Amino acid sequence: MHATTPVNVKQLKSELMNHPDKHFVDYSCNGLQYGFDTMVKYDNIKTMECRNNLSARSQKDTVSDLINKELCNGFVYGPFEKLPFDDYRVSPLGVAEGKYSFKKRLILDLSAPHNDTNVSINDLIDKDLCSMTYVKIDDAIRLITKYGKGTKLYGKIPPPRSTCREAATQLPECLRSNVVLNETVKQLWTHAVANTTRSLYNIGISHFVRFLLLNGITYNSHDLPLISEDVLIYFIAHCFKVLKLKHTTIKIYLCGIRHAYLKSGYHNPLETPHGEFLPRLTLILKSVKRIQGSQTRTRLPITFPILQEICLRMRRGVFDKYIDCLIETTCIVAFFAFLRCGEFTVMNVDKFDPLTSLCISDIILKTDYAILRLKESKTDPFRKGIDIKLFKIDNSICPFWL
């Protein structure tokens, strides 16, 4: 059996390379990699199986779920068809509940049996070699007194965990293994934003992941790292200075990061735990906008004379007859129906979807007009569909006579 730990021991060794206590570094890293010495000094203890505590006996399903979770993570082994040891001790299990989170966890009572002639596991451990003490406020006061005025104390505060994230990890097995519902949820997430928006979000996430890796922020590829407001601020600086991106593009990339974290069950990284926008992040974004100024791109319209020139050029022949007719028809329909580019074009063939893209069947011909059925558009995000009427006009450039 090998020790199992979520800690990246190789990375930890690298981070502790300059630590003054080399013995502590070797002890910690070797213990995480190969297992720690239990410090039990007696090997002739009597085999004994203790009865589980009442909190475990009264919550059998909870105990089973918690044990299965430990098994899945590789923190415990079993069940065994044959006992791996001749002499062994089974300490009682119990269930404890968090005071504020109400999250249940397993506890192993290594001090059992109590008030018994048989010694417990804790009794077998040398108290001089193994003991645990808590840092007291007196210790902090002593350090401040020692180092004088201006002393700073630093303590790592765990980042707030999303209740959604905790709820997601507590899904019962029947839901996690439900193929139909899993595919449905995946499909719903796919349609949470428009295709073009999702493409921009994916580009933003790619830049963000590359930024993290370039700056030594490593994480499990199957999960997203916990990030702070400072990391996001430096990412904005990276987009502004290195990638030369506009303020509007940076905002879209941040929205992509938000979407990815929400999808993974995390708290919105752009907000405080109280639902307020991160104040420093907002100021940095305003600073980028102020430096770049309001640069409105001039968009020149395709007027009717320009459309007429395009159509006449296509009729004289540019490509083959089919392509020329296709381009002319597209330009005329887009002009008279006031279509956006994304409403009648796709980026490539793979992006064509008959459920959302324009098809021949979306055109209905009447006596003196045609009906163009738009399945979706920017102004119709819920895909109710819009009918656009293209009337017959007395002109060589007519949307009806094509």
Domains of the chain: 37-124 (no CATH), 165-171+179-292 (1.10.150.130), 304-391 (no CATH)
Quote the pLDDT of residue 236: 95
Quote the pLDDT of residue 155: 61
| Residues forming a β-bridge with 363 | 372
What are the backbone angles phi and psi of residue 17, rounded to the nearest 5°? Answer: -60, -35
Residue pointed to by tokens 């430990």: 70
Quote the pLDDT of residue 164: 44
Quote the pLDDT of residue 163: 43
For 244: left if phi > 0, alpha if psi spans -120 to 50, otherwise beta; the answer is: left
What are the backbone angles phi and psi of residue 134, rounded to the nearest 5°? Answer: -105, 145
Can you read off the two tokens belonging to residue 106? 């397993």
CA distance 100 to 251: 36
Contact present, 211 and 238 (Cβ < 8 Å): yes
Report the chain (402 residues): mean pLDDT per 10 consecutive residues. Answer: 70 85 86 78 75 89 87 77 80 83 83 79 76 74 76 58 46 76 86 86 91 80 79 94 92 94 87 85 93 79 90 90 90 89 82 82 88 83 83 86 70
What are the backbone angles phi and psi of residue 388, rounded to the nearest 5°? Answer: -115, 125
Could you give the count of Cα atoms lying within 13 Å of 31 in the half-sphere of its Cβ?
10
CA distance 9 to 101: 30
Can you read off the two tokens belonging to residue 344? 């009648």
Report the candidate in 235, 223, 234, 211 with the shortest Cα–Cα distance to residue 260. 223
DSSP 181: H
Report the candidate in 365, 364, 388, 385 with the shortest Cα–Cα distance to residue 376. 385
Quote the pLDDT of residue 254: 95
Residue 94 parent element (H or E) = strand 93-97
Report the candidate in 192, 271, 288 with the shortest Cα–Cα distance to residue 234. 288
- Collect all residues with Cβ–Cβ distance below 8 Å to 208 and sequence separation of at least 6: 235, 253, 256, 257
Map residue 102 onto helix, strand or coil: coil
Quote the pLDDT of residue 116: 74
